[in-house]
Amino acid sequence: MLCPAAFSQDEQTLAGSGSVMGILARIKECVSDVNNVSSKFHQERNLSILKEPVISKGRFYYEKPDKLRWEITDPTPSGFLVNADKARQWKGDHNDPGKSFSVRQNPVAKLIADQIFAWTKADFVWIEERYTIVVTKHNPPSLKLIPRSQKESKYIDHYIISFDFEQKYVTGVDILEKSGDSTRIRFSETVVNQHLRKGLFD
Amino acid sequence: MKDHTFFSLFSFFYRVISHRRIFLYLFTAAIIIVSALILKNIKMNEDIAPLLPDGQNEAARDFALLRKAPFSGKILVNLQGGADTDKNDLVNAADMLVQAMTGSYFTEAIAGPVLPAHERTLEWLTGSIPGTFTENDMITIKKKLTLESVRATLQKSRIELASPEGWFLKPLLQSDPLEMRTLTMEKFQHLNIMPSMKLFENHFISADGKNTLVIIDTPVEITDSKGSKELMAHLQGLIEKIVPSGIDASVISAHAYTTANAEVIKSDLITILSCSSVAIFLLILAFLRSWKGILVFLVPSSVLCLATAGTLLIYDSVSAVTLAFGSVLLGISDDYPILVYFALSRKERNPEQVVGTVARPVLFGGITTILTFGVMLLSNLPGQRQLAVFSIIGVTVALVFSLIILPHLLQSLPGEKHYISSRAAGFPRMPRRLFLVLWLVVVGLSLWQAGKLHFNGDLQVLNMVPAELHKAEQHISDAWGDFRENAILFSEGKDLQSALEINDNLFSFLKEKIPEKQIISLAPVLPSEKTQRENRLRWSIFWSGENKEYVKKLLIDEGDKAGFSSAAFTPFFETLDAVPPPITLEGFKAAGLGEITNSLITKEEEKTQILTLVPDTLSTVSLFDTNRRSTGVRLVSQNRFRGLISKALVGNFINYIFLALLVIIISVSILFRNIKKIILALIPVATGLIFMVGTMGFTGIEFNLFNIVATILVIGIGIDLGIFMVCNVSDGYDHTASLGILLGGLTSFVGLGTLTLARHPALNSIGITVLLGLCGVIPSALFIIPALHGLTNVKR
């Protein structure tokens, strides 16, 4: 599990160094030619309300500019997709129609979509507005995002976003809560700019 | 002349001014120029507001309240797909349209229900459970407190924690593991103003799946005709650009009505004023056959200018309906110069003496007409009061011009005065008795049919509804039901809490009388503090005893089986022990529910009103008769409003007729002081009115608000012609004067007749009914008065 103290050394804020700007610019440049992504994920949630960590596995898909699909295959199949303003959530098999809704009109869906898109697109303008960015590692780069808003900082201490220049994609996301709970997501077998099957985001 | 000392004043004026005519002409020209300058800044008002009641009467209050109804100021765009259009295509088109609604014309556009759009909403829902905890909720929760139910809920939550949604679920799960928030969420159905609507991907979809709806808020006021026109044009442009072919878009909003009415009334104004001016001018020339006829025509033309300028001195803006009434004024105000012209046309008479003689019928006719129009000043419709002011100024100016200025122009300028014929050959000589029999038959038949007259208080009949808008209205009504036709109940209090208390009582009363699903009310989700205290007490009592211990044990045991830690639900247990928080309007808004409260709560200086919507049926409306007024609830419904207006209409009609008749009877009594002459002078008025209502009853034309104006006009013109003719026949029948009366009647007929060319229902309706009245007035003045006068003289 990652903890805030682990990043105290060599940390550089966005405003603090030209090299930070350089890293962000490089990440930005790296993802600029990414049109779609397909990746496996492994999520581990360590929550105080649970006796054991919740582990889930599945596949993540992204297509420029505003499509994503988060499909859990293990332990219980379920999923969530966003296609522009439309969102759909299903439980069990993907053929289950589940429930559809507008992203704009569902606060939770909007929060999720905004976060994932910002990380995926390396949208540092959006991120900088909401978080203080600290570079914790230069190569491979790792960014620490500290919430600026009181509402979010009431629950979230910070996020850690790890990136791989080779893979041209995020390799890990860590969410660390004030309560000490954490969520760790690792992406693997990432494939960039490959053909995605039709209907993936419908 | 000795009997008419007052009228000899006009002879005196004539004599005095005849030596200083140049000053008179200069003064007149100055007045006309000043009024023309005032008209340069004319502000015309084309909206329907002047046609609606104001003041403190019940209809005015109802109307003011109706404008607070949800949707009353919004724009609705219905998108209808064809047989092959997929629902996805429809909602995509709606989304694209919503995204394009930016800029100064739009404040918000939605294609689906405004769900709480704030991350604190779910938290708020949980916090509001104790304050909304009813007896029924208690029963529902009790049913949820079973082992199976709790187990299933916890297992579901455990799975959700692994999903992205679960990233944000933890606090909610801890504070509300039993999902009691669904109780509050279900209560939100009472805030769904379109209950028959379905949702598809969170978009409004009609029951047949072929229509979707976009609801738009705009800062443009519905009474702003210029802004409405620009708004509608902009919206139409967006629709044409964005909505794909194969999907039909129809728009309804009060702005569309404002635009349609303003456009139609403007084009009507041009048609009416130009047609009536040309027709009256040609008639005058045809009868007078002299260039001096132009001088006669100058009087009504100047009157129009001065009356409009005078009205603008009193009011900020002049209603387009009032301006259209200019054609009526043209038709009425030329009667006086025509009479003066014919009187002065006889060379053997001394003009000074003629002016004194003709002043009697002209002045009496004019004053009686002014007094008749004066009755409309009592109206509670601002438009009718403005019409009265406009007409009174116009007729006054016409009298001054006819009796003081025109005689000098006619006498001093070179040229002959002519008229159509110096012989009486123009009038067919028919047997008097035949006239009278015909007249009696027509009056008898009209009286018989008058009983069928129907009064219609629906203001919509006075509104211009173009075919396109009518089709859109019909279409939206078919697709979505008459959601805009709900009756509205206003719970009124001096502050929010007192209004909410009344609203709570109203909801309790209503749910016993009509199906609860049909009630749109804030009461279930935003009760008053008093009701909240009762609900919180119920909540506390429910969780104080064995229920709390039972649920604690159940959650810990079943939570353990589902993998939850023993402390997982501590926040929930703490909630049960804590003093529940109150539900406040501020909290409601902070949770992203402000849109709903804005629609259903209105605040004025010293009062707050909470709106409740119920079906506008007779049985619902009857629940709120005057006996329930003491409860602080006021019902407003379109149906009741129409009824109120109709009732007011009948009352106004009777009052106006009574007052106007009283005025003219007093006036002609003072003038003639002879019962026979008084009765004779009233014959055109009586015949005109009876024929008008009789024909309306026979043909099924309904009597509306503007027919009151028509009635006043018939009375005004009828009494004018009656006075002129009685003066003529009693001073020894003069064919020349009769020609003047005929021409006066014809110009009135033409002036008013042009109103029938109007496409605007209000103007058209006045035109048709007045023409009917004049069909009775003119023949009875020209033929029945001389016939009856002759008959009674022969008998004597």
| Cα nearest neighbour of B568 on chain A | A49
Question: Where are the extended beta strands (E) located within A10-155?
Answer: 12-13, 36-46, 54-63, 67-74, 78-83, 86-91, 99-102, 131-138, 141-147
Taking CB atoms and an 8 Å limit, are B119 and A111 in contact across chains?
yes
CB within 8 Å: B161 and A175:
no
Question: Is the previous residue joined to A75 through a cis bond, with omega within 30 degrees of 0?
Answer: yes
User: From CA B199, how far away is CA B187, in angstroms rounded?
Assistant: 18
B113 contacts on A by Cβ (under 8 Å): 105
Nearest to A89 among B114, B165, B569 (CB): B165
Q: How far is A38 from chain B (nearest CA, A)?
A: 17
* Nearest CB neighbour to A183, from listed B115, B122, B167: B167
CB contact under 8 A, B564 and A51: yes
- CA dist B344 and B389 (Å) reads 31
Q: Is the pLDDT confidence value at A12 over 70?
A: no
Chain A hits for B204, CB-CB cut-off 8 Å, are none
Rounded Cα distance, A178 and A157, in Å: 5
Distance between A106 CA and the closest CA of chain B, angstroms: 6
Q: Does B108 touch chain A (CB under 8 A)?
A: no
Instruction: Give the amino acid at B101.
Output: M
- Contact between B165 and A100 using a beta-carbon 8 Å cutoff: no
CA distance B164 to A109: 9
- Check CB contact of B570 with chain A, cutoff 8 Å: no
Give B705: exposed, middle or buried? Use CB within 10 Å, 0-12, 13-18, 19+. Answer: buried
Single-letter residue type at A97: P
Residue B770 to chain A, least CA–CA distance (Å) = 57
Q: Which residues of A touch B569 (CB under 8 A)?
A: 49
Give me the pLDDT at residue B462, please.
66
DSSP secondary structure string for all residues of B398-414: HHHIIIIIHHHHHHHSS
Task: Give CA separation, A177 vs A113, A146, B170, B220, in Å.
Answer: 19, 11, 11, 47
Q: What percent of chain A has pLDDT above 90?
A: 19
The strand pairing partners of A63, in sequence order, are: A36, A67
Partner-chain contact A112 B165, CB within 8 Å: yes
For the record, the structure tokens of B708 come out as: 């009151």
CB of B225 closer than 8 Å to CB of B264? no
CB B286 within 8 A of CB B420: yes
Residues in chain A within 8 Å Cβ distance of B122: 107-108
Q: Is A77 helix (H, G, I), strand (E, B) or coil?
A: coil
Spans of chain B, pLDDT less than 70: 1-5, 46-64, 66-71, 113-122, 194-202, 346-349, 412-430, 457-464, 482-485, 592, 594-595, 625-630, 645-646, 648-649, 731-737, 792-796
The span from the CA of B727 to the CA of B688, in Å, is 20
Inter-chain residue contact B112 with A47, CB threshold 8 Å: no
Torsion sign over Cα B324, B327, B330, B333: negative
pLDDT score of A57 more than 90? yes
**Helical ranges in B563-637 per DSSP H:** 570-577, 585-588, 594-600, 618-622
Which residue in the set B115, B161, B165 is minimally distant from A45, CB to CB? B161
| Cα A119 from Cα B164, distance rounded (Å) | 14
- Which pLDDT belongs to residue B215? 85
Euclidean distance between CA atoms B555 and A19, whole angstroms: 53
Tokens of B691: 């024929």
B116 in contact with chain A, both atoms CB, cutoff 8 A: yes
User: A67-104 pLDDT, tens per residue?
Assistant: 899 999 888 888 888 887 778 888 776 666 777 776 76
Element housing B80 (H / E): strand B75-81
- How many residues are recorded in chain A? 202
Of A50, A75, A155, the CB nearest to B171: A155
Q: B174 contacts in A (CB within 8 Å)?
A: 49
d(CA B724, CA B719): 8
The answer to whether A39 and A188 are in contact (CB under 8 A) is yes
| 3-state class (DSSP) for residue B183 | helix
Tokens describing residue B125? 């829902």
Q: Do B113 and A105 touch (CB under 8 A)?
A: yes
- pLDDT at position B11, please? 84
What distance in Å separates residue B250's CA from the closest CA in chain A?
Answer: 24
Do B164 and A155 make contact, defined as CB atoms within 8 angstroms?
Answer: no
Give the pLDDT confidence score for residue B689 in this predicted structure. Answer: 92
Tell me which residue in B118, B121, B565 faces A49 most closely, judged by beta carbons: B565
Tell if the CB–CB gap between A43 and B118 is shorter than 8 Å: no
Closest CA in chain A for residue B202: A101
pLDDT at B423: 47
- The total number of residues written for chain B in this structure: 796
Say which amino acid occupies B111.
A
Interchain pair A108, B119: CB under 8 A: yes
Task: With beta carbons less than 8 A apart as the criterion, state whether B519 and B612 touch.
Answer: yes
> Which chain B residues are closer than 8 Å to A106 by Cβ?
115, 202
Q: Which residues of A touch B (CB under 8 A)?
A: 43, 45, 47-52, 54-56, 70, 72, 75-76, 78, 80, 84-86, 89, 91, 100-102, 104-109, 111-112, 116, 151, 155, 175, 181, 183
Chain B environment of A76 (Cβ under 8 Å): 159, 162
> Of the candidates A69, A71, A74, which has an alpha carbon nearest to the alpha carbon of residue A87?
A69
Residue B571 at interface with chain A, using a CB cutoff of 8 Å: no
Residues 547-566 (B) with a CB less than 8 A from some CB of A: 560, 563-565
Q: Are strands B247-252 and B75-81 parallel, antiparallel or unpaired?
A: antiparallel
Do A78 and B112 lie within an 8 Å CB cutoff?
A: no
* Contact across the interface for B167 and A54, Cβ inside 8 Å: no
CA distances (Å), A73 to each of A98, A99, A139, B724, in order? Answer: 16, 18, 32, 100
Kindly identify which residue of chain A lies nearest to residue B567, measuring between CA atoms: A49
Do the beta carbons of residue B228 and residue B220 sit within 8 Å? yes
First to last CA, chain B: 26
**CB of B567 less than 8 A from some CB of A:** yes
B18, containing H or E segment: none
Identify the closest residue of chain A to B556 by CA–CA distance: A49
**Contacts (Cβ under 8 Å, ≥6 apart) of B337:** B295, B296, B299, B300, B398, B401, B402, B406
